[in-house]
Structure 1
Amino acid sequence: MIDQDKLKQQIIEELRTVFDPEIPVNIYELGLVYEIKIRDDGYVNIIMTLTAPGCPVAGEILADIENKIKKIEGVTLVLVMLTFDPPWDKEMMSEEAKLELGFL
């Protein structure tokens, strides 16, 4: 049986290593990750958004996430799904990200 809390923390740590090339803050602190679902069989479903629907590096970001998450022990499959509902805005960022970008 998978320790889902531990696995979720490992996933979050990996998400903190993924950056939008145009913004010097990781996607997790930017608030782009809306949901992380983990099944007992190791299937991970991540629902996220992008800062803009027409993001030119969307494919690279999604591939980076998949490659990093599937290397975590216990993960059997990773599916990253994009949504633009609700649309992202800077209020979704963590305090740390707002400080980094000068929004505070």
Structure 2
Amino acid sequence: MNASEIRDKVEDALRTVHDPEIPVNIYDLGLVYEIKVTEGSKVQVTMTLTAPACPVADDIMFEVQQKLEAIEGVEDAFVMLTFDPPWTRDMMSEEAKLELGFL
């Protein structure tokens, strides 16, 4: 499996992770800043949360890690949390904005 195929599978997996307080997946919310697939099928996801004090932060990070590790072809997965730049509603996909009534 090549890096492009793995990246597609990573995006699909991230679309199955939801913040329990928001009915939109973390990918469409714009919480995923970067997906890197490197040699040896290693995946690194850089992401944020809607707020630094998010009460379910550990649960979301754990779920992302589990889903990445479960992808066929992924040798190793690393999830990095950042708050730079801070998340804003502008980072959401058009679909997410529509679903949440922001358009």
TM-score, normalising length: structure 2 = 0.97
How far the C-alpha of 1:77 sits from its partner, in A, is 1.1
Kindly report which structure 2 residues correspond to 1:21-100, keeping only aligned pairs within 5 A, or say none. 21-100=20-99
Residues in 2 aligned to 1:57 and 1:65: alpha-carbon distance in whole angstroms: 12
Please provide the CA RMSD for this pair: 0.7
Structure 2: tracts of 5 or more residues without a match: none
How far the C-alpha of 1:74 sits from its partner, in A, is 1.2
After superposition, the C-alpha distances for 1:51-100 in whole angstroms (9 at most, x for unaligned) are 00000111100110111111111111111001100000000000000000
Residues in 2 aligned to 1:6 and 1:69: alpha-carbon distance in whole angstroms: 13
How far the C-alpha of 1:40 sits from its partner, in A, is 1.7
How far the C-alpha of 1:6 sits from its partner, in A, is 0.8
Sequence identity (%): 58
SS of 1:54's partner is coil
How far the C-alpha of 1:42 sits from its partner, in A, is 1.4
Q: Which amino acid in the other structure matches residue 9 of structure 1?
A: D
Aligned residues: 103
Q: Which amino acid in the other structure matches residue 33 of structure 1?
A: V
Question: Which 4+ residue blocks in structure 1 deviate beyond 4 angstroms?
Answer: none
TM-score, normalising length: structure 1 = 0.96
Residues in 1 aligned to 2:54 and 2:2: alpha-carbon distance in whole angstroms: 34
Q: Which amino acid in the other structure matches residue 23 of structure 2?
A: P
Residues in 1 aligned to 2:67 and 2:22: alpha-carbon distance in whole angstroms: 20
